[in-house]
Structure 1
Amino acid sequence: MRFQRFKEKELPMQDLETIGLAAGGQLLLNVDDLKALLSGGRTSLMQLNNLEAENIKIKSLDAKLSLQPDGKGKVNLLIHPVYRRAVKPDFISEEDALQLQKGGLSNLLKVSTDGQGRRKELLVEYDADTREFIVSDVEKILAPDMVNGDFLTPAQKEAFRKGKEVQMPDHTAFAYTAVNAQGIRANKLALIASVLIDGGLSYALYKGLNALFNQKHDADAGKLSAGYDNAVRDMEEQVNFHHQEAPLPNRITR
């Protein structure tokens, strides 16, 4: 799920200006890619031109971007180029890697240990755009508390974090992914997710969603439920309330 993780003022503007995505303190990113960055995800694939670094000049480079905090309060810009060949993580087998690359698996859940011997569950996906395996720490994946006004059960939240498909009472089905900019796939073209933060609900509206893995949207994909409509009204009421009371909090995204 893509809820705002970074503030716009935290963006590394100098780095963005260096690669032509900002000028004079103004961003030149489209809205969807900006949302992806601020939520901690990856942008869509974009073309970067006239790059220079450490005496290396690159005329043109296709890549995705993401942000990563360094633990000292600084946010770094990461560039994910299109690799010539994929390098698999050492904790998955060649067979599993091939299945991910060929599209036989949407993701793979593996248990590994960190440098201190602590057990970690890792979700592995393959990004065909960049020919890169993406590894996500399951504990750090944010599961929504509600979708289209219906609460998720603890089991559904766990399933979401582990990359499994979750079905809601209004027949909306969705699954986590780190591959696309929105961080989610669904059988519907839109949904509204909510998380409980500081005793209140924070809403995120997702539109133009990609279909579930290896599936196509059906004829009813654009037909949204009454729960979705109610969640839209709730979100709009909250936004209008905050407009009246105070500036809109950064944690509410639209």
Structure 2
Amino acid sequence: MMNTLFDIKELPLSQFEDLGLYNDKQLLLGPEEIQALLNGRRTDLISLRALKGEGFEIERLDARLSLRREDSGELSLMIHPIYRTAREHPLLTAGEMDDLINGRKDFVGRRIDKEEGRWAMYNIEYDPETKDFAGYDVAKVQTPERINGMLLNEEEKSAFKRGELIELTDGTRVQHRASDPKGIRSDRKVLVLSVLLDGGISYLLIRGIRSIRDGANQLNHHTTAFNQALAEMQGAKNVIQQGLSPEDSRHLGTKKITRH
């Protein structure tokens, strides 16, 4: 499977169990939700039920989940509920938040200083489903080598990492989105990605891709380039299935839970 930001063996299973998402050595999430978590992205909305804590009990909570690396090195499970009004972000101005919320910008970039004079580029997006903001380290975005068989040059790979909209030679438009579980949006619902793993090319067919602009119609994905890439994928040995690898599926049993 594709390289992921987090290892499946690091998942904080006790925290999943507290939310009713892990029982009898089985993680009660679908493969796509687990894959989104391991890639450092948010899941789709998930219905959490009968949540109990000190002094509170919630019958049902619809929320998205993500993982965060703590200073201790361990992973923590983050809950992103649906807020009534948009939450403020400490790294954004009021104008920048307004631009993101109203779709005038897809992201705002920030240079974050780290220890020993190092720094990282950090992008912040707006998540309209939860009415809060999602951020990611640009350098940690994994870019495909090809999309629909079309080779991405270094400039296009860099633009993809930064969340900029890129247009391929067949007219297909794609954009990285950290707030989307699949990590990508496009004006086509289906894409064939080619990724470089262990010195060889592997293929990944992604279905159900959301439109770059919510509610916008998407084009027919059966372009000449897509059909050729699909034929190459079907004849290849290294095909990555959407979701978990057989090894990871054995490590954690999966069972689909109720979705929003």
1:234 is matched with which residue?
232
Cα distance change on mapping 1:88 and 1:240 into 2, 3 Å? closer
Q: Report the Cα offset of residue 222 of structure 1.
A: 2.8
Cα distance change on mapping 1:224 and 1:199 into 2, 3 Å? same
Which secondary structure does the structure 1 equivalent of 2:99 belong to?
helix
Aligned pairs for 1:1-254 (under 5 A) are 4-70=4-70, 74-114=74-114, 116-213=116-213, 216-218=216-218, 221-239=219-237
Q: Report the Cα offset of residue 129 of structure 1.
A: 1.3
| Structure possessing the higher relative contact order (Cα contacts under 8 Å, 6 or more residues apart) | 2
Q: Report how many aligned residue pairs link the two structures.
A: 243
Residue identity opposite 2:201 in structure 1: L
Q: Distance in 2 between matches of 1:249 and 1:227?
A: 32
Q: Distance in 2 between matches of 1:236 and 1:45?
A: 32
Which secondary structure does the structure 2 equivalent of 1:66 belong to?
strand
Q: Report the Cα offset of residue 144 of structure 1.
A: 1.5
5+ residue gaps, structure 2: 249-260
Q: Is the 8 A contact 1:144 1:193 kept in 2?
A: yes
Per-residue CA shift, 1:178-199, capped at 9, x if unaligned? 1111111101011011221221
Which secondary structure does the structure 2 equivalent of 1:157 belong to?
helix
Which secondary structure does the structure 1 equivalent of 2:29 belong to?
coil
5+ residue gaps, structure 1: none
Q: Report the Cα offset of residue 122 of structure 1.
A: 1.9
Q: Identity over the aligned pairs, expressed in percent?
A: 32
Q: Is the 8 A contact 1:36 1:181 kept in 2?
A: yes
Q: Report the Cα offset of residue 73 of structure 1.
A: 6.4
**Bigger Cα displacement from structure 2, 2-11 vs 144-153:** 2-11
Q: Is the 8 A contact 2:201 2:238 kept in 1?
A: no
Q: Distance in 1 between matches of 2:247 and 2:167?
A: 30
Cα distance change on mapping 1:6 and 1:204 into 2, 3 Å? farther
TM-score, normalisation: structure 2: 0.80
Q: Is the 8 A contact 1:13 1:25 kept in 2?
A: no
Cα distance change on mapping 1:39 and 1:202 into 2, 3 Å? farther
Residue identity opposite 2:167 in structure 1: Q
